[in-house]
Structure 1
């Protein structure tokens, strides 16, 4: 009876690593996903930080990663504040605003 228990225990112990290895595919699936906006931002900031080291790099990365992309409303405020926008009227102003907002 003891030999049977020992044999069963050894068989179970040998089967455990096989079961644990069946989940190795999970990390590979993450590589198939497109990078997130934050990952894209990190990639761009890293490229822009080339040549910087130490505290200078750390400060740059902090500022770069915290920077927010201007919203359409922010762009509209900036374009409206431009002195040229205040001078123009009608189609000329419309063309200027279109150009300004797309920049």
Structure 2
């Protein structure tokens, strides 16, 4: 039951993210996906955050695509891999918006 109470503020917090915070989440997810660490990760993050937004910015995504990106960012933050990531993503995507 305590987990249910924690989930709502996290969802509300995600809605309040600035474009820069969203970009940081996306860059972080990419860096984690590439397995970057140390100086290599720092360099990648710096370049990624300086880069202009891609043509398909989050503003252009459908609500489902935005939700998938948010769930993916959260999974990356939790460093989930394999079956744990699949299970988390399935649960996250089923949650009501």
Give TM-score, length-normalised by structure 2: 0.38
Q: Quick one: higher RCO (CA 8 Å, sep 6+), 1 or 2?
A: 2
Based on CA coordinates, which of the two structures has the bigger radius of gyration? 1
Give TM-score, length-normalised by structure 1: 0.36
